[in-house]
Structure 1
């Protein structure tokens, strides 16, 4: 009896899809050259989402973690959409142009194919030309690419601190809960190590972080209807 391949939504489909994508990424890097990196992510295991990688722009390896951009997409669940042609900077100052194309098993988001192009040298050439014509573009935001999800969580915390304009440890209880709400929305709490990292950054105990999160969730919970 012939074995049929699983269809979308059936057990094993996501694994087959990701496996089928692996040979493709080498061909894409060969086409775009040494300044290109293609990363294949399995969003079902965000702490080690990188299942295949070709090229070396972000210095990650198989078994590495997703970036905070992937974390944001993961937090959006199945409503997430492609994130195309966005520009960020690495921690060492290089400029990266990227696209993240989501992979779905039916309606469910299970992974992503990410294209990263190092356009640092191109931007330097553009800067020289724009200097002549008197135009300046704002610097793109910095994105941390790391193999360790703890580094990604720390980066998200730093971003929230930058938005606040002051160290998170000086926040009032109300401001602290606003931070916890923002972090929860970005999906940070799905990782076990998040509470310790957040507590350290806020200058409070882990129990306080969980209490703040409980309070935030109670604020947003729908009212109970008595029968």
Structure 2
């Protein structure tokens, strides 16, 4: 989904404006455990254009998370992501749904996200499971950062790559560095404007080298005609 194409679609602004009017009402329906966030996918570094409630701490002008960037990377072929569970850096557990907003032509221009802080509810479930003697192993949780600053989203992606490799990002072989770029590209994080200089600094590379690695992994991952 090209930003210049969606920006030229006059229906996109009307769609997002209509959704923005629904944000406060949706949030009040679920109460204090709920946060509703509206994203304009045409502006990744400041995609949040409306928010009600306080769960992830975001505000108008905040960037997309890695989950949103990953959906954006799939373009118009992306699907709604419903009822997924994440763990925030402070340990709270959030159940979310991301509903894509499309123009009449099917072009994705934004997303409406509903986040529910279910930390205490999960605690009650565990108590009931213990009382019933059934136990509760629980499902694996995604971990993600929601931040008003794009740098935090980029830092999270780099920290995840470093953890997976088990080595500092400044001490990688060419093959390992290529794999880092492949992982970063697949998360969609390079859609944020500050990613290239940020990655160059963290990996001890020039910006030209970053672009070279990025071009290489994009060429290798490009579908064959």
Contact 1:130 1:136 in 2 (8 A): no
Q: Report what 1:160 is aligned to.
A: 161
Residue matched to 2:97: 99
- Asked whether the equivalents of residues 53 and 61 of structure 1 are also in contact (C-alpha less than 8 Å), the reply is yes
Partner Cα separation in structure 1 for residue 223 and residue 76 of structure 2: 22
Where structure 2 has 5 or more consecutive residues not aligned to the other structure, the ranges are: 1-5
TM-score by length of 2: 0.87
- Judge conservation of contact 1:168–1:201 (CA < 8 Å) in 2: yes
Paired position in structure 1 for 2:185:
184
Partner of 1:3: none
2:173 alignment counterpart: 172
Number of the residue aligned with 1:51: 49
Show CA shifts across 1:158-196 (max 9, x none).
222233233322321011111112212322223331112
1:1-227 pair list within 5 angstroms: 11-105=9-103, 106-132=105-131, 133=133, 134-220=135-221
Equivalenced residues, count: 217
Aligned residues: CA RMSD: 2.3
- Inter-partner Cα distance in structure 1 for 2:139 and 2:64: 26
- Give the superposition deviation at 1:143: 1.3
Greater radius of gyration (CA): 1
Deviation at 1:9, TM superposition (A): 11
Residues 18 and 162 of structure 1, relative CA distance in 2, 3 Å threshold: same
The 1:139/1:22 distance shift into structure 2, 3 A limit, reads: same
CA drift at 1:27 = 1.2
Deviation string, structure 1 residues 128-176 (Cα, Å, up to 9, x no partner):
2334533322551221111111211111122222332333223210111
Name the TM-score, length of structure 1 as normaliser: 0.87
Evaluate the alpha carbon distance shift between residue 203 and residue 118 of structure 1 in structure 2; reply closer, same or farther with a 3 A threshold. same
The 10-residue stretch of structure 1 (198-207 or 142-151) with the greater mean CA deviation from structure 2: 198-207
- CA deviations 1:6-65 (Å, max 9, x no partner) are xx9983101001111122111111111110011111000011111111111111111111
Give SS of 1:69's match: helix
Q: Deviations over 1:73-129 (max 9, x none)?
A: 011111110000000011111110000000011221100000000001111112223
Provide the C-alpha distance between the structure 1 equivalents of 2:221 and 2:118, rounded to a whole number of angstroms.
42
Greater CA deviation, 159-168 or 61-70?
159-168
